[in-house]
Structure 1
């Protein structure tokens, strides 16, 4: 009898101890890692950049928000102006970005891809990433990388005119300028612990490969420049450089980069330049305007072709919409209609399925965009949909 009592006490003690240890372990357990990298493009023009004065735009001092709150509907039911739920915030303010980082990461967006510019020998719109994002105390909660938006800069930001033909700055660069860029990128961005990497290699995306090639004079010169970039990245202590191309008509089909030259495929150009992956920036780059559900279905049909035509990984992309009318005061511009969070979620599920079907590549999905308000493509909450688009991301990709 005494033995049984002792045994019961021991068993009770054992269970109590195990329960206590379990509670301690649970309290100190790390949250589950998100399985997918969901990367949203960031258009860093919602801040008072000093160089806006050089091109005579946004005199209110709030960046492109000026075009947003001055937008007018162009037909009955046209959803303009878009009204941000958080107000017309300054994204070069670290406090503002702390709130946005919290909102993004809590909904499954764990990477920002910053549109990054270099015109006339110096960066442009850099305060969004330099002061806003990197100045935020919680920026370590999410990764970031750069997409060099190397297109010509025209009067497309001047929302007072439909004429977008004036060129202020050219996107092409010569070799000394490129080398200067490389030094800045490696020193001031790759060095950050939360810069996004694939297999330890910093990811750097190039928007217009044809502009890059033409600026340097030839595809061979472009190849040499990118090899130099890779070498300098290795010298900085990284195993290599992950060059990513934005897939649309700006990838030339011939190694000579001469229009009409079909001596090689786009894939050969990509391989020759040393690119390691491809993604999209916007579905409008390869799919005609349509109702959103049909537009997305058509865009996703292209993924199989991209996967077949290119030997480097293609990372699936989902766009939220396309409506550039805030930048045009007159004629109605081509736009996507009936965009909605329900279909957006459906497309995200297909992107997830694509990632799962390609286990040999990182589970990276890109989204246009975090804040392309002037193009109608944004995850940030507005007064029409609230947090519905962010909630869709969370339902598909958020931590379980």
Structure 2
């Protein structure tokens, strides 16, 4: 059983974001301007030692890899953006590919959505900056050849000699079966046993049925959050006199309740669970955000252990963690000023105990 943590590469400037949001925009922009919306609301979230890193600095991924592997994390799952040959946010994983001295396993999750200007609660109609299209065989070949350099890396995560590739929205791909069949054919010609496709389940009823889908992962808390919003707690100024908001209500969800709901799901072989650190997208969405209450290292430890136990019982190879560095959602393992490296220590202690139990079983 291996832990794989989702990894957001949006911590460096790119022309697309500079054009849309202004010169210098990165994920840190939203994080730095965040403010508490009610008494006791943990914002802004500040990295330990003010480490507002730039992912174009190649030493950053080395530091991240050292933290992750020390804690017992097997690998990162990088979000990948591809628009018929045009890429964005591709440099961090490219730098990793070309520096074999960084010791971390990794795979990719294709975030196959149009690149839009309106995101994170900016309001109004979405302005599409780069449409997500898929093409046909010529385009599939170009995309496969891009993947191939990474697939050939010994650090790239493989399941029975099949490079692992997550896809965000399978249903958006018109000729999904044909495309994955083509990629499998090409991968076998290149010495692999195919490509191991994992769908990212966004809703509790979401199940992708295709002979070319090898597995699925519950993308939490998004998958369970939609259902839980029907039971949401609305925090209003009447509930909290020190609430900064004068005319808005905040949507809050109990961290314990959402985790208990997640654990109710039945999984079989190839249906991977995920744990999450926290969720608070108010840095991106402001008063339209959703906030979990009760997220802390002790609660995370409790649910991490339960999910590891269930993952082992279900005979699954991976447990996903959301996320390594989603600072704009308050969802990160990296050290911050409040908890320091407590979340990483929780993982290290839990994984050390798990490995000891494995040794006892022989």
Q: Do Structure 1 and Structure 2 share a fold, with TM-score over 0.5?
A: yes
1:391 aligned onto 2:330: no
Q: Deviations over 1:134-181 (max 9, x none)?
A: 344532x2210000011232235578x344633322334222433321
SS of equivalent residue, structure 1 residue 380: coil
1:152 aligned onto 2:117: no
1:146–1:205 CA contact under 8 A, matched in 2? yes
SS of equivalent residue, structure 2 residue 47: coil
How much has 1:338 moved relative to structure 2? Answer: 2.1
Where in structure 2 are the equivalents of 1:36-185 lying within 5 Å?
36-54=1-19, 56-57=20-21, 59-60=23-24, 63-86=26-49, 87-119=51-83, 121-131=85-95, 133-136=96-99, 138-139=101-102, 141-157=103-119, 161-163=122-124, 165-175=126-136, 176-185=138-147
Q: Give the distance between the partners of 2:91 and 2:331, measured in 1 at CA.
A: 22
How much has 1:128 moved relative to structure 2? Answer: 1.6
SS of equivalent residue, structure 1 residue 146: strand
1:57–1:158 CA contact under 8 A, matched in 2? no
The verdict on how the C-alpha distance between 1:156 and 1:100 changes in structure 2, with shifts beyond 3 A counting, is farther
What's 1:203 paired with?
A: 164
1:280 aligned onto 2:218: yes
How much has 1:335 moved relative to structure 2? Answer: 1.9
Question: 1:357 aligned to 296, 302, 313, which one?
Answer: 313
How much has 1:323 moved relative to structure 2? Answer: 1.1
Which of the pair is proportionally richer in strand?
2
SS of equivalent residue, structure 1 residue 394: helix
How much has 1:72 moved relative to structure 2? Answer: 1.5
Structure 2 unpaired stretches of 5+? 230-252, 357-362
SS of equivalent residue, structure 2 residue 332: coil
Q: Give the distance between the partners of 1:43 and 1:58, measured in 2 at CA.
A: 20
- Give runs of ≥4 in structure 1 deviating > 4 Å: 156-159
Question: 1:337 aligned to 289, 293, 307, which one?
Answer: 293
Equivalences, count: 327
- Normalising by structure 2, we get a TM-score of 0.84
1:72–1:326 CA contact under 8 A, matched in 2? yes
Q: Deviations over 1:256-279 (max 9, x none)?
A: xxxxxxxxxx4xx5233x111111
- Normalising by structure 1, we get a TM-score of 0.76
Q: Give the distance between the partners of 1:158 and 1:343, measured in 2 at CA.
A: 27
Q: Give the distance between the partners of 1:50 and 1:293, measured in 2 at CA.
A: 40
What's 1:230 paired with?
A: 184
How much has 1:317 moved relative to structure 2? Answer: 0.7
Q: Deviations over 1:59-108 (max 9, x none)?
A: 225x2111111112222221111101151001232111111110110001
The verdict on how the C-alpha distance between 1:100 and 1:58 changes in structure 2, with shifts beyond 3 A counting, is farther
Question: 1:270 aligned to 201, 209, 221, which one?
Answer: 209
Larger radius of gyration: 1
2:164–2:195 CA contact under 8 A, matched in 1? yes
